[in-house]
Structure 1
Amino acid sequence: MTKFAPKTPGTSALNADQVTEFLLQHPDFFAGRDELLAKMAIPHQRGSAISLLERQLQLLREKDVDTQRCLTHVINNAKENERHFDSIRKFSLSLLESRDMEQAIEAVEDSLNHDFNVEFHQLILFSSQPSNLPVRFESKDITESLLGEALSNSTVFCGQLDEKRMAFIFGNKTQQIRSTAVAPLRFPDYIGLLALGSCELDRFKASLRTQFISYLGDILSRHLTHLMYIDQKIKRK
């Protein structure tokens, strides 16, 4: 343990590191030394000085504020995640209850409108064959050539698309849409895409964590693939 003796002529002055080390080793040093505490002051940014006790209280208040902010952030994230999970649960159950493609498409539209509050959405399936189903069909080659970057892999694309691509997906509604997300539907091959649009600039931004949107795409891919297989099997009979 470091020894500290009163300064006498010829004795070198203590430096800041030595004082710091001593106080760390003796956290109760100021106990019973109220007169010393009252004389100590810490310069403030505004030029005035405050006592050591006042400074300690100020630090404790600042830490409390930071802790409250972190706790509020965690709670808000938890509530948001809970809302997402509840919406996905409803979405999944609605799809599972659908008996054919028409019911599945209606379930998707209803869930996106009411459970997820998505203002604009477009479900596009890849096919060159005409269909009476209430869903949009496009050629896979044409779609991939126009939306190459958004369909370059199996992950969700969030960010800005140029006017040509926006017009291809959303038609004449592009002026109202400020952020977009595109989830490729793939199981095991590409069968289409689910595009979401919002009037809010930050709703689908590039830095957004896309787990929930990706999960929607995964659920939809598997169920639609199953229903399409059943539909084709019925038509061949």
Structure 2
Amino acid sequence: MTESTAERQQQEIELTAADVANYLRSHSDFFVNRPDILYDMELPHAPANAASLLERQASVLRSRNTELRHKLNELVGIARDNDKLFGQIKNLGLSLLEANSLNELGANLKQVLALEFELEHANLFVYKSAATPATHITLSSPRDLQVSLRDLLRGNRIICTTLRKTEMSFLFPGYSQSEGSAILIPLHYNQDLGLLAIGSTDPGHFNSNMDTAFARYIGDILSRRLLHLLA
């Protein structure tokens, strides 16, 4: 046996499965001109059941394709929901701009939240003792709300949480269900202006995991319009 032959045999002995796998990855067309090798190869698909390498590869590709379609459908659904939400908030903003009084502001707000967003309860608290009492707003003060809601008011933070019946009844006069949930949106623009409370009879509808970006946007629009009407 020559030295070169011995060296080749030694190299063949030291060749590992990882080496073969790396080579095949680097030469993805290896089997194109070697169908005889491909036909002889089998991979165990399950105990007592084998599938050819080509069938296995096709199965993996189909699985990945299905996964990508699901992800694409999910992204399309999210985009569709966001587009709908943007239209709803646009209609809300226009409705608030059309209000010429505090009472009309409260009425328009409740109407759009009920019709566009299908929200069951809403109440606009206004911090203005000199304002004229009205049907669609609630005149209050930061102190009164703090006494009744306690740690639910945390500066300008938006709070989404489950509430007891007593808390729901305070926020939404006439509320007759058991516990529910609400989102509390502080209204602030150069000063504390009030609080927008939106509620649901479903205790889990508003929760701490919710994204509050759109709620903040609603609060910003409402705060600016509210300041203008209070001037």
Shared fold (TM-score greater than 0.5)?
yes
Q: Which amino acid in 2 is paired with 1:94?
A: S
Q: Which amino acid in 2 is paired with 1:65?
A: T
The 3 A distance-change label for structure 1 pair 9 and 127 is closer
**CA-to-aligned-CA distance 1:31-60 (integer Å, 9 cap, x gap):** 122222122222235663221111111111
What is the correspondence of 1:37-116 to structure 2 with a 5 Å cutoff? 37-45=38-46, 48-116=49-117
Name the SS of the counterpart of 2:94 in structure 1.
helix
**CA-to-aligned-CA distance 1:188-221 (integer Å, 9 cap, x gap):** 2222111112244554221111111111111111
Give me the whole-angstrom Cα distance separating, in 2, the residues matched to 1:199 and 1:207: 18
The 3 A distance-change label for structure 1 pair 152 and 46 is farther
Identity of aligned residues (%): 30
Instruction: Tell me if the contact between 2:162 and 2:204 (Cα under 8 Å) persists in the aligned partners.
Output: no
Partner of 2:3: none
111-120 vs 177-186, greater mean Cα deviation: 177-186
The structural deviation recorded for 1:83 is 1.0
The 3 A distance-change label for structure 1 pair 78 and 11 is closer
Give me the whole-angstrom Cα distance separating, in 2, the residues matched to 1:25 and 1:60: 19
Name the SS of the counterpart of 1:159 in structure 2.
strand
Name stretches of at least 5 consecutive residues in structure 2 with no aligned partner: 1-6
Give me the whole-angstrom Cα distance separating, in 1, the residues matched to 2:208 and 2:184: 11
Partner of 2:149: 147
Give the aligned CA root-mean-square deviation in angstroms. 2.6
Q: Which amino acid in 2 is paired with 1:34?
A: P
Give me the whole-angstrom Cα distance separating, in 2, the residues matched to 1:64 and 1:133: 59
Give me the whole-angstrom Cα distance separating, in 2, the residues matched to 1:9 and 1:139: 89
Partner of 1:195: 197
Give me the whole-angstrom Cα distance separating, in 1, the residues matched to 2:45 and 2:52: 10
Partner of 2:209: 207
Name the SS of the counterpart of 1:173 in structure 2.
coil
Instruction: Tell me if the contact between 2:165 and 2:178 (Cα under 8 Å) persists in the aligned partners.
Output: no
Instruction: Tell me if the contact between 1:91 and 1:108 (Cα under 8 Å) persists in the aligned partners.
Output: yes
Aligned length: 225
Matching of residue 186 in structure 1 with residue 188 in structure 2: yes
